[in-house]
């Protein structure tokens, strides 16, 4: 039995893997991999995958949901192009690698970017809280959970300006008020499904208002939503598995119940990091992510011994991102608390043998 703490593509519930495997062999007589995306059987899957997002997140009326490809990385461009207005000026909060990527791509399509808040001064180990939001901006963008550094917004920026968030690594992990946002986007592979699909939740009133002269059809959310995510061949399998996972989320109590489980998992591990003298967390306590827990060994020379212990316990995916090192325990929805207990036990065993 493996305990998958990988940062993504992520663990999904076993039942979802089983049902996905069944559909590869038999989806109404065909394989889900060969079915036409225009066939009513798949159109029904797409409709349900969209509907379940609205249901699980209580998406208010006046919002649409669509699935594109290209990951959150293409999302950086999509949101800039679609939210560009006359000012061609946007405000970004820089909290790490993914925010920086979003800023870079916005600039590439001709946006002037005002980074009015950043945690770069302390190597992205906190979430900026004291800042003034300029008002001459087309929109505000932030990354709700910083997958690599292990920080997470516990409350969202308050602004009258349109608000856009990359929620790739914490969407569906906790309750959110979608009504605060104009666009939420997320690569599926962190908490929703397999890689290949990218989720967009979009306020209808922002559609078709871009001032950009460059707007490839595929990147135009208005056209994507009008075509119900079927403008071209959608990532059929990825959407199918996302649908299964959302069904499973509802069957197991929905986002509210999931939030409680995720908070319990995070508390268990952070408590051990704080108690155990051999370890230390990497970021400000109040900004710690419930999804991606980053920590270090105080004495790095013992890392080989620690690595042997957790590997022998069946743990995989624990090394930190190649750009920061240390350790990162990603604890997405499907990771059971039992796996976190195994990791905590390994940390205790390491303490005893030290
Ligand atoms: C993983 C991740 C990305 C990149 O996602 P892709 O789907 O691989 O493009 C962007 N933002 C955040 C917050 C992420 O965790």
Whether ligand 1 lies within 6 angstroms of the CB of 73 is answered as yes
CA end-to-end span of the chain, whole Å? 26
**Residues whose CB is less than 8 angstroms from the CB of residue 302 and which lie 6 or more positions away in sequence, other chains included:** 278, 354
The last residue of a domain, from among 231, 251, 271:
251
Distance 99 CA to ligand 1 centre (A): 10
Beta bridge partners of 118: 94
pLDDT, position 1: 85
- Is 4 part of any domain? no
Strands 3-4 and 292-297: unpaired
The residue whose CB lies within 8 Å of the most ligand 1 atoms, and thus the one to mutate among 68, 73, 183, 290, is 73
Residue 52: the pLDDT is 98
Q: Which residues are 89's β-sheet partners?
A: 112
Q: Tell me the DSSP string of 179-193.
A: GG-SEEEEEGGGTTS
Q: Is 72 in the pocket of ligand 1 (CB under 6 A)?
A: yes
Residue 117 · residue 131 · CB < 8 Å:
yes
Domain total in the chain? 2
For residue 185, is the peptide bond before it cis, meaning its omega torsion is within 30 degrees of 0? no
The parent domain of residue 273 ranges over 254-353
CA–centroid distance, 3 to ligand 1, in Å, is 22
**98 catalytically annotated:** yes
**In this structure, are 199 and 272 located in the same domain?**
no
User: So what's the pLDDT on residue 37?
Assistant: 97
Residues 258 and 244 in one domain: no
Per the annotation, the verdict on 267 as an active-site residue is: no
pLDDT value of position 188: 97
8 Å CB contact between 354 and 302: yes
Same domain, 201 and 233: yes
What is the Cα 42 distance to its own chain's centre? 25
Q: What is the pLDDT of residue 142?
A: 98
Q: What is the pLDDT along the chain (354 residues), one digit of tens a residue?
A: 899 999 999 999 999 999 999 999 999 999 999 999 999 999 999 999 999 999 999 999 999 999 999 999 999 999 999 999 999 999 999 999 999 999 999 999 999 999 999 999 999 999 999 999 999 999 999 999 999 999 999 999 999 999 999 999 999 999 999 999 999 999 999 999 999 999 999 999 999 999 999 999 999 999 999 999 999 999 999 999 999 999 999 999 999 999 999 999 999 999 999 999 999 999 999 999 999 999 999 999 999 999 999 999 999 999 999 889 899 999 999 999 999 999 999 999 999 998
Closest residue by CA, ligand 1 atom 4: 72
Q: Is residue 162 part of a domain?
A: yes
**26 C-alpha to center of ligand 1: Å?**
31
Check whether residue 203 and residue 284 sit in a common domain: no
pLDDT on residue 193 = 97
Rg (alpha carbons) of the chain, rounded to whole number:
21
């Amino acid at each position: 039995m493996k305990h998958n703490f990988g940062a993504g593509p992520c663990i999904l519930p076993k039942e979802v893997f089983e049902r996905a495997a069944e559909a590869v062999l038999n989806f109404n007589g065909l394989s889900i991999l060969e079915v036409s995306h225009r066939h009513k059987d798949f159109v029904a899957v797409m409709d349900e995958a969209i509907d379940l997002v609205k249901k699980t997140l209580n998406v208010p009326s006046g919002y649409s949901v669509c699935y594109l490809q290209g990951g959150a990385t293409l999302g950086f461009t999509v949101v800039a192009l679609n939210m560009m207005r006359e000012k061609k000026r946007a405000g970004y909060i820089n909290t790490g690698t993914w925010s920086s990527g979003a800023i870079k791509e916005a600039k590439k399509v001709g946006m002037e970017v005002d980074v009015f808040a950043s945690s770069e001064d302390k190597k992205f180990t906190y979430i900026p809280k004291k800042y003034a939001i300029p008002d001459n901006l087309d929109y505000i963008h932030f990354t709700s959970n910083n997958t690599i550094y292990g920080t997470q917004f516990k409350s969202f920026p308050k602004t009258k300006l349109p608000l856009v968030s990359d929620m790739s690594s914490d969407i569906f992990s906790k309750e959110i008020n979608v009504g605060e946002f104009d666009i939420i986007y997320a690569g599926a592979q962190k908490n929703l499904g397999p890689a290949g699909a990218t989720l967009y939740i979009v306020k209808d009133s922002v559609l078709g208002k871009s001032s950009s002269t460059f707007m490839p059809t595929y990147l135009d959310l208005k056209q994507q939503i009008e075509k119900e995510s079927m403008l071209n061949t959608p990532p059929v399998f990825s959407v199918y598995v996302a649908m299964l996972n959302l069904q499973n989320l509802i069957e197991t109590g929905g986002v509210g119940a999931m939030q409680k489980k995720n908070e319990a998992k995070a508390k268990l591990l952070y408590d051990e990091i704080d108690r155990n003298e051999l370890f230390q967390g990497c970021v400000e306590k109040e900004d710690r992510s419930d999804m991606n827990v980053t920590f270090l060994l105080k004495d790095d020379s013992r890392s080989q011994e620690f690595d042997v212990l957790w590997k022998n316990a069946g743990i995989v995916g624990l090394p930190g991102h190649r750009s920061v090192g240390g350790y990162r325990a990603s604890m997405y929805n499907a990771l059971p608390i039992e796996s976190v207990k195994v990791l905590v036990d390994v940390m205790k065993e390491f303490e005893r043998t030290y």
